[in-house]
Amino acid sequence: MDGIVIIGAGECGTRAAFALREAGYSGAVTLVGAEPHLPYERPPLSKPMNGAVEMKLICAKEALEAAAINYLQGSSASKLDADAGTVTLSDGRVLSYEKLLLATGARPRRLACPGAERALEFRTHAQAEAIFARVGAAQAVAIIGGGLIGMEVASVLREKDVDVSVIEAAQKPLGRAVPQRFADRLHARHVAEGVHFHLDRGVVAIDNDGVILADGSTVPADLVVSAIGVLPEIDLAEAAGLATGDGILTDTFLRTSAPEIFAAGDCAAVAQPGGGHARFESWRNARTQAGTAARNMAGAAEVFNAIPWFWSDQYDLGLQVVGLPQPWHQSVVRSIGDGELEFYLDDGRLVAAAGLGIGNSVAKDIKLSEMLIAAGVRPGSEALADPDMNLKALLKSTRAA
């Protein structure tokens, strides 16, 4: 077989398959997915409705057929031979390709302590179902890891009135991805909702009673969820001799070190204009990188330069972050109704923004911020702090100038 082969049928691989057709590619497209389902969306997994975890498909079977995408469900790639241009599947089939996209995603980082196998991980639909099926009978749930996934799961469980403890090795939750101001506010909300925090505590073991911490105490739990981050799936690429680091290394066109092999989504560490490589774990990034990789595989030469963006819903609060806020940025805060925006300036230039409010109330302003960042504006901090200074008007005056 020739044409383009995509390894991984999550948000990224699936989007790339369709984007190849949108770009006019008419050769064979093969999409290889390890899970025993049609491609599905992961964001709804942490928001079960009436206890049932939703299986929201990215596309219907008919849509795959209409786009002539050959979907190999329940198959994974076991070997990649970059010189021969072939990939071997778990069932022994060998596919040859003109171009290959690695959209292998990420897998949960494993706990390494006695009893670690007792902890449930949260990544796939099956894992989400396993957790929520057991929640009903559980008296107390301990979540190891106070990152975005751990805190989102905590909020869902508190809404079901389950006793929840969050164990975090760092001194504060949400330290990695969320700006300090909003990490603090979300932390306070979880405390107000009755979540028990065990911060700055390592995990020594998990047993029948719960989680044993480094200080000798036990967090009682009859269900333990491990949410200590993810690792990029690089094994296939590494074994094939491709350049890897924290992810499969690519250039700005999303090409790996091997000719004709691209990488995108959670598994890809993409060369940055300022040097180094960056990997982003978000729904939007999976889709935008899929689009760029697909168009480049179809013959374009498009640099990936989308501004990172993600959201997180916890209780009735919605967080959105665009760009990469850093502690050294100048921060400007604006109050908006029930919520708050924070803008981040680097030497006067707007480079990032974040907002937290009820529901999706900050979405408009974060979208406008994204457009202002892309326009390279240098707004005064007084204007940014002033709720009466309309960001849309600011954008229009920038465009007119």
Residues of span 230-269 touching another protein by CB under 8 A: none
Least Å from the CB of residue 50 to another protein: 15
DSSP β-ladder status, 244-245 and 268-271: unpaired
Least Å from the CB of residue 10 to another protein: 14
Q: In three state form, how does the secondary structure of the chain look? A: CCCEEEECCCHHHHHHHHHHHHCCCCCCEEEEECCCCCCECCHHHHCCECCECCCCECCCHHHHHHCCEEEEECCCEEEEECCCCEEEECCCCEEECCEEEECCCEEECCCCCCCHHHCEECCCHHHHHHHHHHHCCCCEEEEECCCHHHHHHHHHHHHCCCEEEEEECCCCCCCCCCCHHHHHHHHHHHHHCCCEEEECCCEEEEECCEEEECCCCEEECCEEEECCCEEECCHHHHHCCCCEECEEEECCCCECCCCCEEECHHHEEEECCCCCEECCCCHHHHHHHHHHHHHHHCCCCCCCCCCCEEEEEECCEEEEEECCCCCCCEEEEEEECCEEEEEEEECCEEEEEEEEEECCCCHHHHHHHHHHHHCCCCCCHHHHHCCCCCHHHHHHHHHHC
Beta carbon nearer to another protein, 226 or 320: 320
Binding residue for another protein, selected from 73, 213, 283, 398, defined by CB under 8 A: 283
Beta carbon nearer to another protein, 18 or 182: 18
Strand order in the sheet with 140-144: 120-121, 223-226, 140-144, 163-168, 196-199
Among 298, 309, 325, 318, CA closest to 367: 309
Least Å from the CB of residue 337 to another protein: 12
Residues of span 56-85 touching another protein by CB under 8 A: 56
Beta carbon nearer to another protein, 182 or 309: 309
Beta carbon nearer to another protein, 181 or 367: 367
Binding residue for another protein, selected from 311, 342, 355, 372, defined by CB under 8 A: 311
Q: Which stretch binds another protein (CB under 8 A): 64-72, 95-103, 281-289, 299-307?
A: 281-289
**Residues of 160-185 as b/e, b for ≥16 C-beta within 10 angstroms?**
eebbbbbbbbeeebbeebbbeebbeb
- Amino acid present at 399: R
Q: Which stretch binds another protein (CB under 8 A): 97-105, 131-139, 206-214, 279-287?
A: 279-287
Beta carbon nearer to another protein, 202 or 359: 359
Beta carbon nearer to another protein, 244 or 369: 369
Residues of span 329-388 touching another protein by CB under 8 A: 359-361, 363-364, 367-368
Beta carbon nearer to another protein, 226 or 289: 289
Please tell me whether residue 310 binds another protein under the rule CB under 8 A.
Answer: no
Least Å from the CB of residue 62 to another protein: 13
Beta carbon nearer to another protein, 242 or 298: 298
Least Å from the CB of residue 360 to another protein: 4
Please tell me whether residue 284 binds another protein under the rule CB under 8 A.
Answer: yes
Least Å from the CB of residue 89 to another protein: 29
Least Å from the CB of residue 362 to another protein: 9
Beta carbon nearer to another protein, 305 or 330: 305
Least Å from the CB of residue 81 to another protein: 34
Least Å from the CB of residue 118 to another protein: 34
Q: How many chain residues bind another protein (CB under 8 A)?
A: 14
Least Å from the CB of residue 13 to another protein: 15
Beta carbon nearer to another protein, 104 or 288: 288
Rg (CA), the chain: 22
Please tell me whether residue 131 binds another protein under the rule CB under 8 A.
Answer: no
Binding site for another protein (CB under 8 A): 44, 56, 283-284, 287, 311, 359-361, 363-364, 367-368, 392
